[in-house]
Structure 1
Amino acid sequence: MLSATTDGEVVILELQREERRNALNLELCREIHAGVDQAVDDGARVIVITGQGSAFCAGADLGGVYGDEFLEALYGMLTRLTQVPVPLIAAVNGPAIGAGTQLAMACDLRVADVTSKFAVPTARNGMAVDAWTIRTLAALAGGGTARRLMLGAESLDVEAALAVGLADRAGTLAHAIAWAHEIAEFAPLALAHNKLILNSTSADDPAIDASFAAVWASEDVRESAAARDEKRPPKFTGR
């Protein structure tokens, strides 16, 4: 259901339920969770998530069971994506509907192909998403857009998503991987610190102070200064 491909310091995770347009079921949610953790453990600097075939993710599998176990796996996976200390890029290669939009939003950056479509049609299907989803949608795309999607059950194509900030760049999987390689050259501790603050829900999170101190005490800060003096690109190690 999920493949992992290593490309230098970038890991590409591909959802492989093409016959179900990569809809999320219990097993796939767990595999994404485990796959992201494994990529981090293996030293990935950046992770790209995409879908097999013509869809990024068609949402929750309507043929599955919407019970507590599925919801726990889905939201546990989405939360984990926001917590891992490396950037995640969603290469949105087609429709990202419902849980597909949630998956894209749990990533840090989104590269959207020409066939991309974003929607969270809970008003049409009588379901609900958590507060994080709606608030994150509003933070990324603006309150007006969030209201149109959540109350008017509208959808956004790639141009609209780019215009409001839900998508960061237009492009294919290849463009997303190229961007991932650029980011992989940056300082890992600084990236982790920035992501921690961007995703934090508390102004008094002690982890932020610890992360701030770790960045300034790191070898990477000294490497940056040495690289400037020696007029060369820095080689960051995350230490």
Structure 2
Amino acid sequence: MITVNTADGVGLIELHRPERRNALDIATCRQLVEATEQVRADGARAVVVAGEGPAFCSGADFGEVYGDEFLEALYAALHAVADLPVPVVAAVTGPAIGAGLQLALACDLRVAAPEAVFALPTARLGLAVDPWTIERLVQIAGGGTARSLLLACATVDAATAHARGLADTLGDRDAALALAADIATMAPLTLAYNKRTANAFGRGGQTADDVVAGLQAEFAACWTASDIAEGRAARVEKRTPVFQGR
């Protein structure tokens, strides 16, 4: 089960399978896709993904993992999170293992509590993650950490994850919500452009010309939006800007 709440521009998507340590099954993955659609409809400007209880997400539910239907549901869910046009923060307040680490990687930022641990033990299980996941892991945490997780099946604690860039900051769920609340006050068009550009150019190889052209158009739109005038006025008036996303 997944619950969704949006308040003051912050959407909270929470996994509720504490009896399974929030492991992902087909139904939960499909609900996660629906949850991303709901926070978009609710107008969330930032989103937090969290897990109920002592685990963020312990991985895939092994009762369903060995089938094409699960893989399709899992990757649909991961890409639904990654493709949200607003920043997404993972509140990693416990283990993020296997598919749980993939879910944390699908988010833009990760706040790790002291009890958080990260692992991707696919080689111990005869499983594998897709190239997108490995590419994103390398982009976020670097090649050394990626190889440690993938080839040695290492377990990375919160402090190490923070030192290596896998976690952006250390803190509990409240810290993740506070970060999202701050992000929700920022200029939506700029954030959406920044996120899409970071995702496009963070990959190896050449970015397609049509993608670059689209990003250039978004860049230009940021400079002609009403929000730029609001930002300028707020600075002159020494107040917090109120951005409208237009």
Q: Percent identity?
A: 53
1:88-140 Cα deviation digits (max 9, x unpaired): 00000100000000000100000001110101111100001011111111111
The correspondence of residues 91-170 of structure 1 with structure 2, limited to 5 A, is 91-170=91-170
Partner secondary structure for residue 96 of structure 2 = strand
Contact 1:36–1:47 under 8 Å retained in 2:
no
Tell me, which stretches of 5 or more residues in structure 1 are unaligned?
none
Which AA in structure 1 matches 2:91? A
- Counterparts of 2:191 and 2:35, CA distance in 1: 20
Q: What is the root-mean-square deviation in Å for CA atoms of aligned residues? A: 1.2
Which consecutive aligned stretches of 4+ in structure 1 deviate over 6 angstroms post-superposition?
none
Q: What is the aligned partner in structure 1 of residue 44 from structure 2?
A: 44
Partner secondary structure for residue 153 of structure 2 = coil
* Superposition deviation, residue 11 in structure 1: 1.2
Contact 2:10–2:48 under 8 Å retained in 1:
yes
Which AA in structure 2 matches 1:7? A
* Superposition deviation, residue 5 in structure 1: 2.1
- Counterparts of 1:3 and 1:89, CA distance in 2: 16
Contact 1:82–1:108 under 8 Å retained in 2:
yes
* Superposition deviation, residue 85 in structure 1: 0.8
- Counterparts of 1:21 and 1:106, CA distance in 2: 19
- Counterparts of 2:134 and 2:32, CA distance in 1: 22
1:154-176 Cα deviation digits (max 9, x unpaired): 11000110010000111110111
Aligned length: 239
Q: TM-score normalized by structure 2?
A: 0.94
Contact 1:109–1:167 under 8 Å retained in 2:
yes
Which AA in structure 2 matches 1:185? T
- Counterparts of 2:53 and 2:238, CA distance in 1: 44
Q: What is the aligned partner in structure 1 of residue 32 from structure 2?
A: 32
Q: What is the aligned partner in structure 2 of residue 15 from structure 1?
A: 15
Q: What is the aligned partner in structure 1 of residue 196 from structure 2?
A: 196
- Counterparts of 1:16 and 1:35, CA distance in 2: 13
Q: What is the aligned partner in structure 2 of residue 180 from structure 1?
A: 180
1:176-216 Cα deviation digits (max 9, x unpaired): 10111111110000000000011115253133122112211
Q: TM-score normalized by structure 1?
A: 0.97
Which AA in structure 1 matches 2:76? G
